[in-house]
Amino acid sequence: MAKEREDWNELTPEETRVIINKGTEMPFTGEFNGFKEKGTYICRQCEAALYRSEDKFNSGCGWPSFDDEIEGAVKRVLDADGRRVEIVCANCDGHLGHVFEGERFTEKNTRHCVNSISMKFIPHE
């Protein structure tokens, strides 16, 4: 279960720039881009579970990519640019990245392009 608002994690200035102000980290710089451990990715701000490692794949785009989210964990919102679809944590509305469909990277035909800085990782034991 995710923390309540008053218990959310304090964010660094760079985390705030991405998660609160809807920024983007530089491609190929995030800690989870080439990361292959088994576990669960959670929201850095509120610690709600977002993605499972088995849904992560290498798209070559420079950010961690997932073709599925944990049910109910991610909301889709039309981006301010009116063209892309932003993805946010369903619990705290923290910015995660964008979702793209129709690229045929996986059978699910969906790519959640997520900023590493928006997530933490909990390894499977």
Which domains, and CATH codes, for the chain?
A: 5-123 (2.170.150.20)
Q: How far is CA 15 from CA 7, 82, 108, in A?
A: 17, 24, 30
Residue 3 has pLDDT above 70, yes or no: no
Q: What are phi and psi of 65, to 5 degrees?
A: -125, 135
* pLDDT 10s digits, 74-125: 999 998 788 899 999 999 999 999 999 999 999 999 999 999 999 999 998 7
* pLDDT 10s digits, 32-48: 999 999 999 999 999 99
Question: Which residues belong to the active site?
Answer: 113
Listed as own residue / partner, the contacts of 92-96 with beta carbons closer than 8 Å and 24 or more positions apart are 92/2, 92/5, 92/8, 92/43, 92/45, 92/46, 92/48, 94/19, 94/20, 94/43, 94/44, 94/45, 94/46, 94/118, 95/18, 95/19, 95/20, 95/21, 95/22, 95/23, 96/43, 96/50
* pLDDT 10s digits, 41-80: 999 999 999 999 999 999 999 999 999 999 999 999 998 7
Helix (H) or strand (E) run with residue 113 in it: strand 110-114
CB of 93 within 8 A of CB of 2? no
pLDDT of residue 80: 79
